[in-house]
Amino acid sequence: MSSDAVLWNLERESGGAAYLHELSSSFDQRVVRVNQVTSSAAVLSSTQNSSILDHAVVAGADIDVVKRHSGGGMVRLDPGAQLWIDIFLPRTDPLWVDDVSRSGDWLGAAWVRALDALGVDDLALWTDRLSDPELGRIVCFAATGPGEVTSGGRKLVGVSQRRSRAGARYQCTVYLSHDPTSTLGLLDDIVVGQDQMDRLRSALGAGMATLEEIAGSLVTRFNGGVIDQVIGAFVGELP
């Protein structure tokens, strides 16, 4: 941990996804906010329309439909299934990078160091362009973008970003466990298109990683406390 680590203010919040997404920051200091959802949600990006969802399925499963202020694709959130961390960085901070395509590299690198220290193998920081813009605009974990992290070539850490005059809010998601069909089942295959649904199914099946799948020993070792271990390691690796 660097000498600047004291500048990070750690917060914890719980509630519905809509409430957590609307929580902001004054951007007068560095903030790490750990979010715990209390109900399931389909979180759409600022550029998405809810018409892509099968609303009968969503309503029947009692899933909240939420819009976030950052770009990208849909993310499904379920209680206890993922680690969701928001990073609030003031524009005046030395870590600020004007080039949005490089502005999350420091954050992704911290994730790589933290997960490597916990024994997750074959980690890499993605520095190329978005791997599949078409699919990534539908489902977040169907493509990998700058500043995100892969394990064995599969996306493990998803990051979206919203920038303002005051600062940047980075939203990070790491799945502990996740069945891709639970995400795909929320989509309206007529609106999305069958070809796209098939491509999404293939991309999520082959290109998405979860901690439970790739680091089962890590989950077993910490007896269900793996999320707290990851949080501690991540905060400890922040610059």
pLDDT in tens, 178-216: 999 999 999 999 999 999 999 999 999 999 999 988 877
- Condensed to tens digits (0 to 9), the pLDDT of residues 146-160 reads 999 999 999 999 999
Q: Is 79 helix (H, G, I), strand (E, B) or coil?
A: coil
Least confident of 63-72, 110-119, 124-133, 221-230: 221-230
What single letter denotes the amino acid at residue 45?
S
Which residues are within 8 A (CB) of 169 and not within 5 positions of it... i.e. 6 or more apart?
A: 24, 25, 69, 70, 86, 87, 88, 89, 161, 162, 163
- What secondary structure does DSSP assign to 6-52, as a single string? GGEEEEEEEE-HHHHHH-----SSEEEEEEEESS-EEEE-TT--GGG
pLDDT exceeds cutoff 60 at 1: no
Considering only the C-alpha atoms of the chain, give the largest distance between any 2 of them, rounded to a whole number of Å: 53
For 153-188, give one letter per residue: b (16+ CB within 10 A) or e.
Answer: ebbbbbbbbebeebbbbbbbbbbbebebeebbebbb
Number of domains in the chain: 1
Tokens representing 121 are 């193998």
Which domain, by its residues, includes 125?
Answer: 3-237
What is the CATH classification number for the domain harbouring 72? 3.30.930.10
